[in-house]
Amino acid sequence: MKITAARVIVTCPGRNFVTLKIETDEGLIGLGDATVNGRELAVVSYLQDHVIPTLIGRDAHAIEDTWQYLYRGAYWRRGPITMAATSAVDVALWDIKAKAANMPLYQLLGGRCRTGVMCYGHANGADIAETLDEVARFIDMGYLAIRAQCGVPGIASIYGVTKDKLFYEPADAAIPTESTWSTPKYLDHVPKLFDAIRAKFGFEKHILHDVHHRLTPIEAARLGKSLEPYRLFWLEDPTPAENQEALRWIRQHTVTPIAIGEVFNTIHDCRTLIQEGLIDYIRTAVVHAGGITHLRRIASLADLHHVRTGCHGATDMSPVCMGAALHFDLSVPNFGIQEYMRHTTQTDEVFPHAYTYADGYLQPGEAPGHGVTIDEELAARYPYRPSALPVNRLEDGTLWNW
């Protein structure tokens, strides 16, 4: 089966998405997500100018060889743009292969390892009382695991907390907006949130929290220690992890489980973390870490070291990424949890999908392929809108991690 055409579709049904569509001489088509939040057009160019011309005429079944061709063959390995483009091709080809086999993708990946994919939703509130209300709402929706984020007194705006509830859309302006950050205020407030959550709801539900790369290792160690009584499922992105060795500090001080990796692109970004047992969950996403092919490699390494998966699933992972992730989640032995920040109705309409949510679990569905399609006519009604992620400054104006 030969690849006859490939095209990039950019659409903004509430937020920007970049989708690769690959066509074959047997009439089968495949879709892959290539969205990099705030840098969408860089991936469009990478695909259109450098990848698509090399795909035409290739064997659509040769997934591993194509992956190696795009990774080794580029000479310039790794990086979010290269790996998102590679991922889009990889996922589109897995979609095609599974359609050719007339099977849902998870069957090609070894079949089900579990009955469903446990997911977590986002409870966020301006203050502790509002966050508690949101946690209650997710419990009512059947969630078994809930991420809790809360405004901090004295900080005007904070990562994860907005007026929107089921979806959170941080890329809010063409030129990045700026927010202010205070580590001391945050560190004093956060334990109060989890104290209130456990006091009100007990310990039955899994509770998670995202630090969004804001702390130094020793500050993160202090936070992990102070949250131990509340038994978090995970503490996410406590520090930026370009410096993987820094995670040793956190590990030496706390038994709060650590999750990291949503901005990682390859196995090399998490090799030290996994091999030295410095983390508990690896959060690499299908779209940003080289597709199903590379994510399975990361999961296999992680499995050797008792590290489980926890794929990134914010709104900027398109439904195509979410669909593919669910087949991966169902089929890897060391699955941990899947993030599920819902998409807007417009996004769901542009990307009809087979996956469903019920009672705390997601199912990828039984449609052949990954089960996500695109309504191109509808997509064309939502043109690209430049949107950048915010930046963050300390109270004295020093640029900090957002």
Q: Which does 23 bind (CB under 5 to 8 A by kind): ligand KDG, Mg ion, none?
A: none
Which tokens in the block code for residue 219? 């500050």
x/- track of binding to Mg ion for residues 9-48 (CB under 5 A): ----------------------------------------
206 vs 312 by CB, closer to ligand KDG: 312
Q: Quick check: 33 binds ligand KDG (CB under 6 A)?
A: no
Q: φ and ψ at 139, to 5 degrees? A: -65, -40
What CA–CA distance (Å, rounded) separates 265 from 79?
6
Tell me which amino acid residue 97 is: K
Closest by CA position to 259, among listed 330, 362, 337: 337
Query: 334-362 burial by CB neighbour count: b if 16+ within 10 A, else e?
Result: bbbbbbbbbbbebbeebbebbbebeebbb
Report the site for ligand KDG in 239-268 (rule: CB under 6 A).
262
219 vs 262 by CB, closer to ligand KDG: 262
| Catalytic position from the list 212, 213, 343, 370 | 212
Instruction: Among 33, 40, 210, 280, indicate the residue that binds Mg ion (CB under 5 A).
Output: 210
Q: Quick check: 170 binds ligand KDG (CB under 6 A)?
A: yes
What CA–CA distance (Å, rounded) separates 212 from 58?
40
Where are the alpha helices (H) located in 78-168, listed in sequence order?
80-100, 105-108, 128-140
Alpha-carbon torsion, ordered 125, 284, 218, 224, to 10 deg: 50
11 vs 24 by CB, closer to ligand KDG: 11
Tell me which amino acid residue 264 is: F
DSSP label at residue 48: I
Which of 16-24, 68-76, 309-317, 342-350 is the region at the interface with ligand KDG (rule: CB under 6 A)?
A: 309-317
Which of 91-99, 196-204, 311-319, 350-358 is the region at the interface with ligand KDG (rule: CB under 6 A)?
A: 311-319
Question: Residue 259 forms beta bridges with which residues?
Answer: 236, 281
3 vs 259 by CB, closer to ligand KDG: 259
Q: Quick check: 119 binds ligand KDG (CB under 6 A)?
A: no
Q: Quick check: 40 binds ligand KDG (CB under 6 A)?
A: no
Report the site for ligand KDG in 199-218 (rule: CB under 6 A).
210, 212
